[in-house]
C-alpha cells in the first residue's frame, strides 16, 4: 500500500505537465527580470529576482521535478535513455549553479595605471569592520547577504557576535538607502565656540553655522578676542583691513626724504614742510590690480595695497602710483623716472586673509560684524544676538541667530524612499564595553570614528576583501575605437601578475570578450574611469568551481536531446516498416 502511494507521489511530482508549467513560469520570470533590470539597474534585479529565495525555490522545484521524472521511470529501458539523460543533465546544471553560489567568489579589482593590488572586493558579501590604534583588535564580522543587501529597512537584524567578550557589538537598524544629515548641538565635552548666522533678505532665512577659527578662509569668519588692547586695535583696523597708522608714505624730493602716516593724509591736502610741494591721496586700494592699463580694486581680496597720490607745485602737478608689495609696478603705471617727487608706499602684510564678513566677539561679550566689499569698501556694525543689521550688499541683511560655547557637529542619516538606483545603504551600530555604550550611524564605504573607554574605534560598513594569493599590476590601459570615429570598440588592460607559486612575473592582456585565468580566478574587462591624472581599469574577478559541472551538464543535455531525436526517428521508421500500407497511402496522398 505504501509503495504504490509513494510511486504515485513520485509520478505526480515528476509529471510532464508540472515540468512544463515550471519551465513556462521560469521563462516569464526571466523576461520580467530583464525588463526590470533595464529600468532599475542590475543590483536591484539581482536582489529581487536572481538572488531572491522564491527564485531559488523555483529552480529547486524544477530540479525536484527532473529527479522525480527520472525516479518514476526506474528501472529504465533503452527507449527511455534519452529522456533520463536529458533530465539528469538538468539536475547537474542546477547542482553546478548551487556549488558556485555556495563556494564561488564574485568581485572586482580597481587599478590605476602603475598600481599593484593583491586582493579583490567581493561585491555581494557585506561586512562590518571594527579597528583601533591597538592592532590587537581588528575585527571583521560577515553579515547576512540576504538581510544586509536587501531593499527593505530592518530593526535589530541579527549579526554574529565578536570573538571575545571584551566588547558587545549590535546592529540596531539597517537602511537600504540613506542620505547623511548633520546639525549642531551645544553638548561638546570641551569648549568649542560657534554661531548660527543668516545672510538673507530678512536676516532669518538660510541659517549657517560658523565655528570660531581665526585662519578660516570661508566667506564668513568668527573670531574671539579676549585681550582688551587687541580688541581696540582690531576695531581701528576695521576700515582698511590693517592698522592705518602703520601705513606710511615715503616721499623723496630735492634730496630730502619725508615720511607721513597714511591715516594723517586721507581726505585732506598736506604740505611738505619747508617746500612749496603739496600732495593729496586720490585713492587708496587695499587689493589693487591692473586691468587694461587701469588700476582697480580686486574683488577676490588679494593683499596688494596701493595708493594714487597727486603732487602740486606752482609750476604744475605730478601724479604718482605706488604699490606696497611690488614697487616695480609703480614704474609701469604712471611713475616714470622723471624729475619730481618719488613715492614709496609702506604697508605691513595682513596677518590673515581678509574675508567679506567677519564676526568679532570682544572681551566683555561685545559683538561686532565687519563687512568688506569687492571694491575695498568696509562697514562695521555692533550686533545683538537675534537682531538683523543692514549690509553693503543690497537686499541682504545679516544676523546672529544662535550662539553655542560647547558646539558639536552631530551627524546622522535619514532613509531615502523609494530606493535609488545608485543607493547608499547604512547601519546603526551600538558598541558596548564595561557598561559604556556608543551609538553611531555608518554609511557603506564611509568609515566613522567613535570613542569608547578612552579608545577611538573606526567602524566601516563595506564589502569583504579576499586575498588573491598573488599581486596584479596594471601596466597600461587603453581604449580602441572604431576606425574613423571616437566610439569605443574595446577596452584593453595590460597587466603583470607576480605569483610566488610561479616564481616569475607573467604579463597578460585582458580585453572585452577575452578574459584571463590565473590561480583559479578569471579576470574580465568590466569598465574604466579617470582617477586623478591616471586611467583606472575595473576588472571583474570570478572564481567559479561549479563551472565545469555546469558545462558537463550542458554537454550531457545535448547528448540526451540527440538521443531523444534519434530514438524518435527510429521509432517512426520502425512503425513505417511494420505498416507498409500506411506508408503507401501517405505517399499516394502527396501532390
Q: What is the pLDDT of residue 215?
A: 59
pLDDT digits (tens, 9 = 90+) for 498-527: 999 888 899 999 998 899 999 899 999 998
The grid coordinates of residue 372 equal 568688506
Contacts of 88 (CB under 8 A, 6+ apart): 66, 70, 556, 560
Are 345 and 384 spatial neighbours (Cβ–Cβ below 8 Å)? no
Share of the chain above pLDDT 90, in %: 41
User: Residue 586 pLDDT more than 50?
Assistant: no
255 contacts: CB under 8 Å, gap ≥ 6: none
Give the CB-side neighbour count of residue 315, counting CA atoms within 13 A. 4
pLDDT at 189 over 80: yes
Assign 587 to helix, strand or coil: helix
The three-class DSSP label of residue 112 is strand
The pLDDT of residue 338 is 58
Bridge partner residues of 111 (DSSP): 537
- The pLDDT of residue 591 is 45
pLDDT band per the 50, 70, 90 thresholds, residue 123: confident
d(CA 103, CA 382): 71
Residue-wise pLDDT for 341-367, tens only, equals 888 988 766 545 567 888 999 998 899
What pLDDT sits at residue 330?
Answer: 54
pLDDT at 28: 94
Cell matching residue 450: 567613535
- Look up residue 30 and give its three cell numbers: 526571466
Domains and CATH numbers, the chain: 2-104+547-578 (no CATH), 107-119+466-543 (no CATH), 132-177+416-441 (no CATH), 194-239+352-404 (2.60.200), 244-346 (no CATH)
Cα–Cα distance measured from residue 314 to residue 588, given in angstroms and rounded to the nearest whole number: 137
Amino acid at each position: 500500500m505504501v509503495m504504490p502511494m509513494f510511486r504515485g507521489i513520485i509520478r505526480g511530482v515528476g509529471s510532464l505537465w508540472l515540468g512544463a508549467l515550471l519551465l513556462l513560469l521560469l521563462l516569464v520570470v526571466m523576461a520580467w527580470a530583464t525588463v526590470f533590470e533595464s529600468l532599475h539597474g542590475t543590483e536591484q534585479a539581482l536582489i529581487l529576482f536572481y538572488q531572491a529565495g522564491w527564485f531559488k525555490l523555483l529552480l529547486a522545484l524544477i530540479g525536484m521535478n527532473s529527479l522525480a521524472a527520472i525516479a518514476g521511470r526506474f528501472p529504465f529501458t533503452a527507449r527511455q535513455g534519452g529522456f533520463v539523460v536529458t533530465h539528469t543533465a538538468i539536475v547537474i546544471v542546477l547542482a553546478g549553479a548551487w556549488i558556485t553560489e555556495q563556494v564561488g567568489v564574485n568581485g572586482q579589482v580597481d587599478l590605476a595605471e602603475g598600481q599593484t593590488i593583491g586582493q579583490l572586493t567581493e561585491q555581494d558579501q557585506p561586512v562590518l569592520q571594527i579597528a583601533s590604534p591597538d592592532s590587537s583588535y581588528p575585527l571583521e564580522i560577515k553579515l547576512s547577504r540576504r538581510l544586509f543587501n536587501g531593499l527593505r529597512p530592518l530593526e535589530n537584524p541579527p549579526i554574529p557576535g565578536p570573538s571575545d567578550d571584551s566588547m558587545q557589538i549590535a546592529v540596531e537598524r539597517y537602511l537600504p538607502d540613506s542620505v547623511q544629515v548633520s546639525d549642531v548641538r551645544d553638548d561638546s565635552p570641551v569648549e568649542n565656540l560657534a554661531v548660527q548666522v543668516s545672510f538673507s533678505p530678512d536676516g532669518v532665512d538660510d541659517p549657517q553655522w560658523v565655528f570660531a577659527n581665526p585662519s578660516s578662509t570661508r566667506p564668513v569668519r568668527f573670531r574671539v578676542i579676549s585681550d582688551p588692547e587687541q580688541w581696540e586695535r582690531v576695531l581701528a583696523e576695521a576700515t582698511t583691513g590693517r592698522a592705518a597708522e602703520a601705513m606710511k608714505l615715503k616721499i623723496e624730493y630735492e634730496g630730502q626724504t619725508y615720511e607721513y602716516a597714511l591715516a594723517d593724509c586721507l581726505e585732506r591736502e598736506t604740505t611738505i614742510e619747508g617746500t612749496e610741494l603739496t600732495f593729496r591721496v586720490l585713492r587708496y586700494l587695499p587689493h589693487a590690480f591692473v586691468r587694461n592699463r587701469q588700476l582697480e580694486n580686486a574683488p577676490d581680496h588679494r593683499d596688494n595695497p596701493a595708493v594714487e597720490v597727486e603732487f602740486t607745485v606752482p609750476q604744475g602737478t605730478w601724479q604718482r602710483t605706488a604699490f606696497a608689495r611690488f614697487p616695480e609696478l609703480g614704474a609701469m603705471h604712471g611713475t616714470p623716472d622723471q624729475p619730481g617727487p618719488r613715492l614709496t608706499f609702506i604697508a605691513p602684510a595682513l596677518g590673515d586673509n581678509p574675508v567679506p564678513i567677519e564676526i568679532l566677539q570682544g572681551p566683555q561679550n561685545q559683538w561686532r560684524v565687519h563687512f568688506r566689499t569687492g571694491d575695498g569698501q568696509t562697514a562695521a556694525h555692533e550686533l545683538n544676538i537675534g537682531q538683523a543689521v543692514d549690509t553693503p550688499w543690497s537686499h541682504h541683511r545679516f544676523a546672529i541667530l544662535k550662539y553655542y560655547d560647547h558646539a558639536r557637529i552631530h551627524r546622522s542619516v535619514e532613509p531615502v524612499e523609494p530606493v535609488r538606483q545608485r543607493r547608499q545603504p547604512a547601519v546603526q551600530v551600538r558598541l558596548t564595553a564595561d557598561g559604556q555604550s556608543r551609538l553611531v550611524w555608518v554609511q557603506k564605504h564611509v568609515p566613522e570614528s567613535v570613542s569608547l573607554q578612552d579608545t577611538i574605534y573606526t567602524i566601516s560598513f563595506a564589502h569583504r576583501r579576499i586575498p588573491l594569493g598573488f599581486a596584479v599590476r596594471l601596466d597600461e590601459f587603453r581604449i580602441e575605437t572604431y576606425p574613423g570615429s571616437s566610439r569605443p570598440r574595446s577596452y584593453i588592460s595590460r597587466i603583470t601578475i607576480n605569483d610566488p607559486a610561479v616564481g616569475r612575473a607573467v604579463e597578460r592582456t585582458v580585453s572585452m570578450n577575452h578574459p584571463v585565468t590565473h590561480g583559479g580566478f578569471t579576470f574580465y574587462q568590466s569598465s574604466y574611469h579617470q582617477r586623478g591624472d591616471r586611467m583606472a581599469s575595473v576588472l571583474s574577478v570570478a572564481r567559479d568551481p561549479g563551472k565545469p559541472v555546469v558545462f558537463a551538464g550542458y554537454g550531457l543535455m545535448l547528448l540526451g536531446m540527440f538521443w531523444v531525436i534519434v530514438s524518435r526517428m527510429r521509432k517512426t521508421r520502425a512503425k513505417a516498416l511494420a505498416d507498409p500500407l500506411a506508408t503507401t497511402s501517405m505517399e499516394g496522398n502527396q501532390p
